[in-house]
Structure 1
Amino acid sequence: MNTLKAEKRSMDVKAKKLRREGYVTGNVFGREMKESVPVKIEKATVDRLLKTCHKGSQVMLDIEGEKMNVLVKDVEFNPLKGQVDEIDFQALVSNEKVHSVAEIVLVGHEKAAGGVLEQLLEEVQFKAYPSALVDKVEVDVSNMKVGDSIKVKDLILSSDKDVDVMTDPETTVVTLQYVHNNVPDDDEDEAAAETAE
């Protein structure tokens, strides 16, 4: 499990100022906490973490020496600046189910022949105890034939007795569609490109 170092943040200092100084602001909340704890984390540390973790990942948060098992609950990305502004965490309690999301990752697509794979669902929502949390669900599409589809109820996660899947079980995750062969061949493409110039 990844460990993320954080510092308690004084609310006297505005978030904008902290971001200019190279920090990402955030909050830690949880059922057994009297109140949420505002934190600040070095931007470079958050960027490193988000290369391997994302929303729904479990991490060890080290707040000035106090370690907490937390879930990455929300990541607020600023597209204009190309950086994370805010990251929120939920402190986990071993006997309490938490809401989370798992990213759907397709595997074996190079073997799915004769059609075009269309992924219709990027993540699945669920509730689980901390011990059963996952941040990725792999979907093997290597045996799919044209016209086949995989639904949420077909995922390994749906058969896990420790997990309550919240996404509709009938939701389609991925389908293998027919290829429509009305694509012009290269010669026609080049001729069209030349006339367009």
Structure 2
Amino acid sequence: MDQVSLRAEPRTDFGTRPSRRARLAGTVPGVVYGRGLDPVAVSVPRRELHAALHTDAGTNALINLEVAGSQNFLTVAREIQRHPVRGDIVHLDFINISLDEKIHAEVGLEFIGVPVGVRVDAGILETIRGSVEVLAFPMDIPSHIPLDVSAMEVGDNLKVSDLAPIDGVEFVDDPDTDLVSVIIPRVVEAAAVEAAVGEAEEGAGAAEAAVDGGAGSAESPDEN
């Protein structure tokens, strides 16, 4: 697991306006939390924070938070709040951790291979869950979790229980949780349904014609 260093300044002003001023100055407000630790309000440089959260470990990077005039904290970023339009981080929590204690983390899946149902049957790979929750010591948290999808056919799905075991990592999600499936594209499905309906209507029309024709034949002797 990657470790990165991040400078931080303590904050003494709180509320919406001070936070807005901090963001305009190119910093992001945050709070350091931890067991037996009084919350510490900080602000961190936006660009450095962006770099810290864009290593291979992503948001699970171990951040050595260097707070000016205070102690350093080994942390992970959690409760990341983003601007609804721009996507910029506007606030986050730093959770103080110990390398000797397991923590929960959300880890992204990496799909390996191209499904048979995609290559042969023109299906599509539908992602139901792009990540799973794990429990592990901080240094054992993987940057991603591989999942081989190459043998999947149309109608197949893979679950948490299909993930290959990883030493030191426990999957927290229900083993029956669906992760990915191979389906026929909805446009194709709709066309197939329309075709089936059309065939059914044609069949019904032919049957009605046959019935009408039969009825006419049955009445013709009476006309004589």
TM-score by length of 2: 0.69
User: What is aligned with 2:7?
Assistant: 6
Q: Runs in 1 of length 4+ with deviation above 4 angstroms?
A: none
**How many residue pairs are counted as aligned between the two chains?**
180
User: What is aligned with 1:51?
Assistant: 54
Contact in 2 for aligned 1:72/1:88 (Cα 8 Å): yes
Cα distance in structure 2, aligned partners of 1:178 and 1:80:
33
User: Which residue type is aligned with residue 92 of structure 1?
Assistant: I
Structure whose CA Rg is larger = 2
Is 1:21–2:22 an aligned residue pair?
no
Cα distance in structure 1, aligned partners of 2:89 and 2:37:
27
Name the structure with the higher strand share.
Answer: 1
Cα distance in structure 1, aligned partners of 2:50 and 2:85:
16
Is 1:99–2:93 an aligned residue pair?
no
User: What is aligned with 1:120?
Assistant: 128
Cα distance in structure 1, aligned partners of 2:87 and 2:127:
26
- Mark the runs of 5 or more structure 2 residues left unpaired by the alignment: 193-224
User: What is aligned with 1:154?
Assistant: 162
Contact in 1 for aligned 2:74/2:97 (Cα 8 Å): yes
Name the structure with the higher helix share.
Answer: 2
**RMSD between superposed Cα atoms in Å:** 2.6
TM-superposed CA distance for 1:125, in Å, is 1.4
Q: Residue 35 of structure 1: SS of its match in structure 2?
A: strand
Cα distance in structure 2, aligned partners of 1:102 and 1:79:
23
TM-score by length of 1: 0.77
Q: Would the alpha carbon gap of residues 139 and 59 (structure 1) be closer, same or farther in structure 2, given more than 3 Å must change? A: farther
Identity among equivalent pairs (%): 24
